[in-house]
Amino acid sequence: MKVVEILLVGLVIGFSISTVVFSIVSGDKKPIVVASATATFGKAPLEVLFNCSVYDDGEVKGYLWDFDDGSTSNSKKVSHIFYHHGIFNVKVTVWDDDNNSASDTIKISVFEYSPPIAIASVNVTYGKAPLKVKFNGSGIDSDGEIVSYYWKFDDGSTSNKRNPQHVYKKIGIYYPILIVTDSDGQTGMTQLEINVVKNMLPVANASADKLKGWMPLKVSFKGNGYDPDGRIISYHWNFDDTFLPKKMESDERNPTHIFWIPGVYLVELTVKDDNGAIARDYIKIEVKKNPVLEVGKNFMIKMLSNGLPVVSKIISRIG
């Protein structure tokens, strides 16, 4: 706005007074604008509320915000979202009623979210089915924190636990995946490889120091087992004494057993490997009934130490 000042000056010349009028026109003053923002840096998408203060000797007629990303606004106070990372020189320009203008600039730094790094480990990567695997999950996030864990075991199963356990029941190569999510909603992923192979059956071998004899028959058994892809963890014998009040069995590797009743026994040895697979072997034991000897009054029966009877003829009697 123009301001005109009139100055009257009186001069005395002789006896008359002369008046001189000076007109002073002041120059137009430009407005002053100061821009402000609720945030000058942050991660995309970054929402910022802009405002400006104007100092002018007249009336502000217009505003123009240029957000340096192709967007503009004619409001004094405006909210804007920066969707991409970068440095944006946001400029506000104002005009007054004398068509004078002024500008101010604010630098906004927008950076991308740093995705988290997923870290996965297992206690075993190779084994026989069914294979029990213990998973361990962790994560690193440079600009936030890990808020969730998600496992995909590559066999149709999943888990939201950080450190789950899972059993692979079928043979094959599996690629489990761990996905971690941070506080900014960003995700990170890592993958493992689990090789599940077929369990080879163990082999059982049973032997005995004798296969037949007279009752009662004492037999010493010997158990052997072999596992081509593991180890034997247990031995179990069943002596086929099913007619006795108590079933005769043993978990010793090399037991001794007495057969009290004549008959044919199918003794069974069962071995188990470290993966739960079993194998069996059998031995047939024949127990004979002791013969009945009929002797006269002139004969004597004497039992030898080996349990066999000896018949002797009496030559003479005393008394």
Of residues 109 and 312, which shows the higher confidence score?
109
Residue 274 pLDDT exceeds 50: yes
Residue 27 pLDDT exceeds 70: no
The CATH architecture one would assign to domain 117-197 is Sandwich (2.60)
- DSSP label at 31? P
CB atoms within 10 A of CB 189: 15
Q: How many CA atoms lie within 13 A of 90 on its CB side?
A: 29
Residue 4 pLDDT exceeds 60: no
* Distance separating alpha carbons of residues 151 and 161, to the nearest angstrom: 8
- As assigned by CATH, the class of the 203-288 domain is mainly beta
Residue 291 pLDDT exceeds 80: no
State the pLDDT confidence band at 293, using cuts at 50, 70 and 90. Answer: low
The pLDDT of residue 301 is 54
The pLDDT of residue 143 is 85
Weakest mean pLDDT among 71-80, 242-251, 299-308: 299-308
The pLDDT of residue 246 is 67
The pLDDT of residue 8 is 47
89: exposed, middle or buried (C-beta count within 10 Å: 0-12, 13-18, 19+)?
Answer: exposed
Residue-wise pLDDT for 208-262, tens only, equals: 999 999 999 999 999 999 999 889 999 999 999 877 666 689 999 999 999 999 9
| Fold: same for 117-197 and 203-288 | yes
| Average predicted confidence (pLDDT) for the chain | 87
| Sheet strand arrangement including 263-273 | 212-214, 278-288, 263-273, 232-238, 249-250
> What residue segments make up the domains of the chain, in order of their start?
32-111, 117-197, 203-288
Topology, domain 32-111: Immunoglobulin-like (2.60.40)
